[in-house]
Amino acid sequence: MKINLMFPGQGAQFTGMGLDFYNEYEPYRALLMEASSVTGLNLLEILEDEERLSETENTQIAIFTMSYGIADLLRKEGIEADHALGLSLGEYGALTYGGALSASDTMKLLRRRSALMQQAAEEKKGFLAAVSFMELSLVEEAVGKVSGVSISNYNAPKQTVVGGDMEKKAEFEESIRALGGKKITYLPVSGAFHTKLMESAARHFREELKSFSIKNPEISVLSNYKGDFYENGEDYREILAKHIDHPVRLSACLSKLDSTEEDVHILLGPGKALQSILKQNGLKGRVYAVNTVEDFKKTVSELKGEKKWKRKQY
């Protein structure tokens, strides 16, 4: 039996997220205050301001702080993961949880990463859209007919995220519908992340990464860019730079978990998109979505009753 922690990506945010944890748990309060100090952002104000929270420069820190904060609380309860993975931005939570980066360094990196991505998004307006209930081959065919548009996320066999130039949005939609696509959901993000529109951000971020120490993680962590586990000795900096302007291979990552019915998957932080994606990928095992204190207490209570999963006592 394995425990897998899963960290959400940008677009999952909601106003007031995590404030119940802030009010109840001192370690969570300390982490939020550290994030505010390190980044120069007043996260308490941002979390209650829908417009500011939706800005990339604020969203990434806010989501990381919540998801990693919950993972840390679980660890303090003795619940530790065998594997960790994240969706897009969530990969930084997974790497930090695994010990590859310190929380403080991750906050600094995300502050710079988000600023570079926001800058790239402003230089060239873009969109992201989830295409659901459509075979990947058909999505690829439709996208191939529209220049300036490409696949951003391979989420599930019949859920693909497409991104590109805002001026090509109507042409993209027409191409999808011409091949039978019916459900297109535009995502609440400020740019076409994980596409070539982010090339400048990836290039500058590659330079930023040179100043940070990244260690081999202490547990297995999956790479969105590779669609496979990170391996000791790899160039993590290059992988994280490419992570910005190359597609997320989430479906491939999930298949690498080789899940069984006894496995436990804990979704950390805001949003419910990952829950649907797991189901679409046919992932076996129990799923716990933890984005409120009530969810957290229920999950801890249920798992603590199962002695066989415990790796370490605190």
CATH number, domain with residue 141: 3.30.70.250
Residues 113 and 139 placed together within one structural domain of the fold = no
Residues 295 and 227 placed together within one structural domain of the fold = yes
Residues 8 and 67 placed together within one structural domain of the fold = yes
Residue-wise pLDDT for 205-248, tens only, equals: 999 999 999 999 999 999 999 999 999 989 999 999 999 999 99
Q: How far apart are CA 268 and CA 14, in angstroms?
A: 14
What is the model's pLDDT at position 313? 36
Domains: count for the chain: 2
Residues 100-125 have a mean pLDDT of 96
Residues 200 and 77 placed together within one structural domain of the fold = yes
Write down the mean pLDDT value for the chain.
Answer: 94
What is the model's pLDDT at position 11? 82
Say yes or no to pLDDT of 285 above 80.
yes
Residues 13 and 59 placed together within one structural domain of the fold = yes
44: in domain:
yes
Output b/e per residue, 101-136; b: 16+ Cβ within 10 A.
Answer: bebebbbbbbbbbbbbbbebbeebebbbbbbbebeb
Residues 171 and 96 placed together within one structural domain of the fold = no
Q: In what order do the strands lie in the sheet with 286-290?
A: 228-229, 220-223, 83-86, 3-7, 264-268, 286-290
Residues 20-49 have a mean pLDDT of 97
Residues 301 and 205 placed together within one structural domain of the fold = yes
Residues 177 and 234 placed together within one structural domain of the fold = no
Residue 85 phi/psi, 5-degree rounding, is -150, 160
What is the model's pLDDT at position 307? 55
314: in domain:
no
What's the domain range around 229?
A: 3-122+196-309
Q: Please, how many CA atoms are within 13 Å of residue 248, restricted to the half-sphere of its CB?
A: 28
Residues 271-282 have a mean pLDDT of 89
Say yes or no to pLDDT of 14 above 90.
yes
191: in domain:
no
Q: Which residue has the tokens 């209930």?
A: 133
Residues 204 and 277 placed together within one structural domain of the fold = yes
Residue-wise pLDDT for 168-215, tens only, equals: 999 999 999 999 999 999 988 889 999 999 999 999 999 999 999 999
Say yes or no to pLDDT of 314 above 60.
no
What is the model's pLDDT at position 309? 47
